[in-house]
Amino acid sequence: MSNGWETGQSSMTRRYEFASYGETRTFLDRLAEYSKEQGYYPDLNFGKTHVNVSITSENPDRGAFAAGVDALVQG
């Protein structure tokens, strides 16, 4: 995918970088709400100013979920 997501046979992964811990935390809070609304919880790995999101094949519409995650960063 050209939008920053790395795709594999059974997953999609993207790393988001943030300027501060506060921005990282805001993204994580938004992602938690979005995940709850969608009923799907991606695998996460995060640090002070980054979040790695992995969407596995158990989500039948990975592309739409990924686009929704991207939208969370933009506000």
This prediction's pTM = 0.88
Q: Which has more pLDDT, 59 or 69?
A: 69
- Within a domain: residue 1? no
CATH number at residue 53: 3.30.1360.20
Q: Kindly indicate the confidence band of residue 59, based on its pLDDT and cuts at 50, 70 and 90.
A: low
Residue-number span of the structural domain to which 13 is assigned: 6-74
Give the model's pLDDT for residue 8: 83
What percent of the chain is modeled with pLDDT above 70? 95
- Within a domain: residue 18? yes
Q: How many CA atoms lie within 13 A of 27 on its CB side?
A: 27
- Region of residue 15 (phi > 0: left; psi between -120 and 50: alpha; otherwise: beta): beta
